[in-house]
Copies of this chain bind each other. A is one copy, B any other.
Amino acid sequence: MGNSVLSSEERILEAAKKVFHHKGFDGARMQEIADEAGVNKSLVHYYYRNKDNIFQAVFEDAFSKLISRLNEIFFSELPFSAKIETFIDYYVTFLSQNAYLPLFILNGLYEKPDQIRKIMGKNQLSPDRLMDQIRKQVKEEMNIDINPMHIYINVLALSIFPVIAKPLIQTIFGFSNEQLLRFFEERKTSVPEFILNALTSHEKNTSR
Contact = CB atoms under 8 A, between A and B. Distances in A.
A168 B127 CA distance: 12
A118 to B, nearest CB: 12
A157 interface: yes
Interface in A175-208: 183, 186-187, 190-191, 194-195, 197-205, 207
A82 interface: no
A150 B187 contact: yes
A207 to B, nearest CB: 6
Given A26-B27, A195-B198, 14 more contacts: A26-B26, A27-B111, A106-B165, A106-B167, A120-B171, A147-B190, A150-B186, A150-B191, A157-B161, A158-B158, A161-B161, A197-B198, A200-B202, A200-B204
A68 to B, nearest CB: 15
Interface in A22-64: 23-27
Contacts of A26: 23-24, 26-27
Contacts of A162: 153, 157
A169 interface: yes
Max chain B Cβ within 10 angstroms of own Cβ: one of A25, A105, A197, A203: A197
Max chain B Cβ within 10 angstroms of own Cβ: one of A105, A142, A165, A186: A165
Interface string A95-126: 00000000101110111010001001000010
A197 B190 CA distance: 15
A207 B27 contact: no
B167 A110 contact: yes
Contacts of A3: none
B169 A153 contact: yes
Interface string A7-21: 000000000000000
